[in-house]
Structure 1
C-alpha cells in the first residue's frame, strides 16, 4: 500500500519499474519507428488521463511526410501490475505487441526489446526519486526486434526490421513549455539519441531542466543533472544541446531542414480537450560525442523527430 501511494506521487523507488502505471493525472506512451532504407518514420502515441475517478485518453498516429490521425476515448487505462496500455478499440499494447486502429490507419507490430534494462535510478537520474514533480520522462527502448505491417491512408508499410524507440512520461500534466528530439538513422545503425528539456518543478521552484540519452555501440550514456551539466533549447526552427558529464561531452544541433511541421494533438487535463505540439518527423540532427577528451562519434541523421510544445492553456 505504501509503495502504491509513493508511486502515485510520480516518484519511483530504487530498482523500481517506471513502465507500470503510476496512476498519475497524465501518462504518455510513445513509440517511434524509423526505416532508413525507405527514408520514412512512423510515430504512435497514447495519452492516459485520470482525474476525479474518470479515465480518458488520446491516441495519435503520425507518418512521414504529413499524415496525422487521432481520436479521444473514454475508459483508457494502463496496468499497475504489468506493462500494458488499453485504449479500445483504437490501441492496445501488451506482451510486446502494439495494435492500432484509426480511420485510414491499421497496424499490428511485435516490438521485442533486444535487452531489458533495470537500473538503480530507472528514469531521468535522481529526478525519478523526487515526488510531486510536474513531469517525469523515461526513454527506455532504443533497440528492438520489430515485425509487422501498417496500412496508412491506403499505403502499405512493411516495418519488419526497422529501428525502434519508445518512451514513457507521466506527472501532473505537460510542462509549461518543452522541447524534445529523437533520432535513429545515422550512418551507424548502433547510434541512437533522445533528448528533452522543459520547465520542471513545482510552483516557484520550477526551473529549466534538460537531459540526453545516447547509445553508441556498447556505450549507453545518460546525461542528466546533477551529475551532468546540460544546456540547450529550441528557438525558431533550430534545436541545440550541450551536455558535459564526468567522462562524456555531447554536442547536438537540429533543424527542420525543410521537412513538414506537423501539429500533433496533446491532451489537456479536462476530458477530450486537446492542445497541440509542433513536430518535424524527418528533421536533421548533427551529433558530436567525446569520451575522456577523445572523439567517440560524429555524424548526422536526416530522419530525426524534433518537437516543441506548451501545456494546453498556457501562452
Structure 2
C-alpha cells in the first residue's frame, strides 16, 4: 500500500522496474523505428492520462520521409502495473515484444521486437538516484536500447523505446535519440525545474556502445545542455560524452502534448524525425567512438 502511494508520486525504489505503470497523472510511452539502410523512420507515442471519467490517451504516429502525422484522442486507456504494457482502446496496444497501431489507412503498424537489448540490471534507471525521489515534475527512462524489427515492411529496422511520467507534461524540455550503428545509440532528455527553491536544468544522457551502457546524470555526472538543449556535454570521473544536434524548422512535426485533466491536447512539441546528431565518447584522453546520424529524433517543447 505504501509502495503504491510512493510510486503514484513517480518514484521507484532501487532495483525497481520503471516500465511498470506508476498510476501517475500522466504515463507516456514512446517508440522509434529506424531503417538506416532505407532512410525510414516511424515514431509512435501514447500518453495515458488521468481524467474525471477515467484514464484516456493521446496516440500519434509519424513517418519519415512521407511527412505523415496522424493523431487521435482515445477515451479509454489502461496500463500494466506488472511490467511494460499499454492499451488505448482499439487504436494502440504495446508491450515488450509487440506494438500495434491503427490510426486508419496509411497509419497502421504491427511489429515485433526481436533480439531486444533492454536496460541493464542496475539499482537505478536513466535518471540515476533521482528515481527514488517522489514528486518530481517529470521522470524519463529508455527501456529498449535496441531491437530488430519484424513486420509492416520494416524487417531489419532498429527499434528503440522509452517511458516518461509525472504529474503533467513538463512546461519546457529538450530531447534526442539516434542510432549511429546497429549496436551504438544515444538518447538524452532534460528541462528546467525548481528544486529546493532553486532553478536548475538537469539533463540525463544514455549511450549504448555494444554491450556497454553509459548513464550520465546528476549528481553522479556533470551534464550541461546549451543551444536550446540539443548540444549536450556530459562528464563523469571516467567518461566524457558530447552530443550536438540540428534540424531545420521545416523538418519539425507539431506533436500533441496531453492536458491530463480536461481530455485535450496542445501542439507545443516540435520534433524532427530525421535531424542531424553527432556523438563523441571519450574515456580519459582516448576517443572511444565518434559518429553522425542523419535520422535522429530531436525535440523541443
Q: TM-score range by the shorter chain?
A: over 0.9
2:126–2:204 contact (8 Å) kept in structure 1:
no
Q: Hey, what does 1:196 align to over in structure 2?
A: 189
Task: Please tell me whether residue 141 in structure 1 is matched to residue 132 in structure 2.
Answer: no
CA RMSD of aligned residues (A): 1.8
SS in 1 for 2:48: strand
- Gap regions ≥5 residues in structure 2: none
Deviation at 1:16? 0.5
Q: Hey, what does 2:29 align to over in structure 1?
A: 29
Mapping of residues 94-243 of structure 1, within 5 Å: 94=95, 96-104=97-105, 105-112=107-114, 114-116=116-118, 117-149=120-152, 158-184=153-179, 186=180, 188-201=181-194, 204-235=197-228, 239-243=230-234
C-alpha distance in 1, partners of 2:205/2:147? 20
Deviation at 1:124? 1.0
Q: Hey, what does 1:69 align to over in structure 2?
A: 70
SS in 2 for 1:120: coil
Cα offsets for 1:149-184 (capped at 9, x unmatched): 0xxxxxxxx111111110000001111100100001
SS in 2 for 1:243: strand
- Gap regions ≥5 residues in structure 1: 150-157, 310-315
Q: Hey, what does 1:17 align to over in structure 2?
A: 17
Specify whether residues 113 and 168 from structure 1 end up closer, same or farther in structure 2 by C-alpha distance, changes over 3 A only: farther
SS in 2 for 1:175: coil
Deviation at 1:260? 1.5
Specify whether residues 145 and 96 from structure 1 end up closer, same or farther in structure 2 by C-alpha distance, changes over 3 A only: same
C-alpha distance in 2, partners of 1:142/1:82? 17
Query: What is the aligned length?
Result: 297
Deviation at 1:218? 2.7
1:28–1:169 contact (8 Å) kept in structure 2:
yes
Deviation at 1:219? 2.2
Cα offsets for 1:112-164 (capped at 9, x unmatched): 45344332112410110000011000011111132110xxxxxxxx1111111
Moved more, 70-79 or 259-268: 259-268
Deviation at 1:85? 0.5
SS in 2 for 1:137: strand
Mapping of residues 31-46 of structure 1, within 5 Å: 31-46=31-46
Task: Please tell me whether residue 298 in structure 1 is matched to residue 290 in structure 2.
Answer: yes
Q: Hey, what does 1:153 align to over in structure 2?
A: none
C-alpha distance in 2, partners of 1:173/1:183? 26
1:33–1:163 contact (8 Å) kept in structure 2:
yes
SS in 2 for 1:4: helix
Aligned pair partner of 1:272 in 244, 256, 263: 263
Question: Taking structure 2 as the reference length, what is the TM-score of the superposition?
Answer: 0.93
Task: Please tell me whether residue 249 in structure 1 is matched to residue 251 in structure 2.
Answer: no
C-alpha distance in 2, partners of 1:98/1:34? 15
Aligned pair partner of 1:261 in 235, 249, 252: 252
